Amino acid sequence: MPERQTSGEAAVRGLLFAFMGYGVITLADAAVKAMLPAIGVAGAMLWRGGVGALAVAAMAGFRGLRPRRAPLVLGRSAMHCCVSVIWYFVWMSGVGLADSYAVAAASPLLMTLLAIPLLGEKVGWRRWTSCLLGFAGVLVMLQPGGELWRWETALLLVGVLGMALSRIWTRTLASTDTPQAIAFWLMLMHIPFGLALLPVEALWPDADGPELFPGWLVGLLVFFGMANALAHLLFARGFAMASIAALAPLEYTPLLLGVGLGFVLFGEVPAWTTLGGAAIVVAAGLYNVHRERVRRAEERGRLRPPAVPPLPAGPPR
């Protein structure tokens, strides 16, 4: 399906919506990473789904929640839930916030490649070269003996692929479904996934653990669910108004915020190999955006009708 065009003014608003969404989702990620030892992956899924779905419905006035392309909406929601489980499990296994975001910096490169079969995009040799350079940056991060040389990183890369595909599908769904429908069913789908995880993971700590419902934990859980609801509403709105190429650089926003939040909240300091590899990936992604803009400008130039020369003046009368 070719990517539909949007006006310049709408694209700017879409970028603003998506930028706010990335900021909100980063705060939500930091909150859930802090809570995971207390609530587990199943608890995070249930709270995100229950509070998030209710928050989306309330913000939408309980209108526009019915999906028009139900199979794609539900399929995207299920895939995104699998991504959420992967990220929560990786964080519980000890991978840092900034480290996980550094690996996720490969998402725009994957979005560029996935846009070829899914959105009918054409990628020239320059962008193919930059994608290969970006994946070389991923290899720098994953070099043997480095902080990210662990099996959880391979699982995280699978989650990043799913995340990139989810972004593409969001753009596809934006032509038929409302932002509130896309966000609502995504949130709601977390509940069955959380319930499915309960047999293999306890929802709350055992009797020797901390208090079950301390006030700070409940408040943080409510914030976590509502922040996810708001972020995915903003994503659905933003991806409806701006192109994938224009939105791709915003994928690096969580990396910048995550480095700061990881240091302040968890005392995380990424290794130089992680930061160096991430810098290569980001540079390759930004070059892809530049080439996309050049290509779009060339296309507009070819489609613009030739100027009609003025008619010669007639003889004086």
- Return d(Cα 238, Cα 247) in angstroms, integer: 8
Output b/e per residue, 217-238; b: 16+ Cβ within 10 A.
beebbeebbbbbbbbbbbbbbb
Distance from C-alpha of 247 to C-alpha of 234, rounded to nearest angstrom: 13
Alpha-carbon distance 85 to 208, whole Å? 26
Instruction: Tell me what pLDDT residue 86 has.
Output: 95
Residue 284 lies in a domain: yes
Is residue 51, in this structure, part of any structural domain at all?
Answer: yes
Tokens of 228: 């996810």
CB neighbours of 97 closer than 8 A, spacing ≥ 6? Answer: 29, 30, 33, 91, 258, 261, 262, 265, 266, 268
User: DSSP class of residue 11?
Assistant: H
Domain span at 155: 8-204+212-298
Rounded CA-CA distance 147/156 in Å is: 14
pLDDT of residue 79: 94
Under DSSP, is residue 152 helix (H, G, I), strand (E, B) or coil? helix
Residue 177 belongs to a domain: yes
Strand, coil or helix: 294:
helix
Does the residue 2 lie in any domain?
no
> Would you say residue 303 lies in a domain?
no
Residues 139-165: tens digit of each pLDDT = 777 666 667 778 888 899 999 999 988
Give the C-alpha separation, 200 to 42, whole Å. 9
118 token code pair: 């899914």
Residue 86: inside a domain: yes
pLDDT of residue 206: 45
Rounded distance, CA 91 to CA 192, Å?
21
Cα(3)–Cα(216) distance, integer angstroms: 44
* pLDDT attached to residue 207: 37
Tokens of 52: 């998030």
Residue 68 burial (CB count, 10 A): 12
Residues of the chain where predicted confidence (pLDDT) is lower than 50: 1-3, 5, 203-212, 316-317
Determine the pLDDT at residue 172: 85
- Nearest-angstrom CA–CA distance, 148 and 160: 15
Residue 79 belongs to a domain: yes
User: Apex CA 116: angle with CA 111 and CA 120, to 5°?
Assistant: 120
Q: Looking at residue 302, what is its pLDDT?
A: 65
| pTM (predicted TM-score) | 0.79
Quick count: other Cβ atoms within 10 Å of Cβ 58?
11
Q: Is residue 312 part of a domain?
A: no
Domains of the chain: total: 1
